[in-house]
Homo-oligomer: A and B are copies of this chain.
Amino acid sequence: MNTATLGFRAPIRDSIEAIARAGFGAIAPWRRELAGEDVTAVARAIRDAGLGVSGYCRSTDIPAATPDAFRAGLDLNRWAIDEAATLGAACFVMVVGGMPEGSRDLPGAREQVREGIAVLAEHARGAGVRLALEPLHPMYAADRACLNTLEQALDLCTALEPAHDGAPTLGVAVDVYHVWWDPNLFRDIARAGADRRLLAFHVCDWRRETRDMLNDRGMMGDGVIDIPAIRAAVEGAGYDGAVEVEIFSAADWWLRPVEETLAVCAERFATVV
């Protein structure tokens, strides 16, 4: 269970308890929830609740308007990678950032991402943390992530880490919301699996009438995505990690009691995922 699904309304310890009580096996917390917390103590609380950590969300944007800002962003990411190690997270989720404010240089932003991830991969390897590059839906290319297809993410993985021992530091997070439309989706899931790059799998749904580009994701089953087909492809390609629910829903699920949202997620898992 990605804590974003709960709308960031409660302290992390409450979310840990609620998620464990609802019967889920793992949690994916956000950095904002750990600000001011003793990360080691949170890691212990998660373990004590019987939960794994399917991922740690998420990277600071890499592309920056100045070299100083670029370096500062990398420092924040190194810090977060160390926290991911403390948490024992299956991966650190890399939402790489879009173009710096005022820029029209998309290739330049992508080049900064390449440079930044090359640096961070070194650090992550030392920390024993795997980096899950998450291609975001193309509608976020300007302001959130200039990594927009699985193909692009995998090309980056193989360019920066061409050889590995079966457990590469660089891999991908497959979120059905971001990739469901991709004509090359099944080809690229297979490619990712063959190279052991499948590090995370996120589910939610795409509402046919999407009202907001950021916070109107649907509950599994309430949209148009053939989630079982994508899940079968991901698991058929060798992924055996958590199936993580991540639903940004300001107008619906975030307004409901946490227990209700968790119960509906569990029910949908049994029926439509």
Contacts and interface: CB of A to CB of B under 8 A. Distances in A.
A236 interface: no
B110 A183 contact: yes
Given A110-B183, A148-B181, A139 B226 contact: no
A104 B183 contact: no
A75 interface: no
Interface stretch (A46-54, A55-63, A117-125, A207-215): A207-215
A13 B226 CA distance: 46
B106 A142 contact: no
A236 to B, nearest CB: 16
A104 B139 contact: no
A142 B99 CA distance: 27
A183 B151 contact: yes
A14 to B, nearest CB: 33
B138 A139 contact: yes
Nearest to A212: B213
Q: Which of A148, A213, A223, A225 has the most CB of B within 10 A?
A: A213
A180 interface: yes
Contact of A142 (B105, B149, B206): B206
Given A137-B139, A139-B137, A148 B213 contact: no
A25 B122 CA distance: 56
Contacts of A225: 104
A40 interface: no
A106 B208 contact: no
Interface in A184-211: 184, 206, 208-210
Contacts of A226: 104-106
B224 A181 contact: no
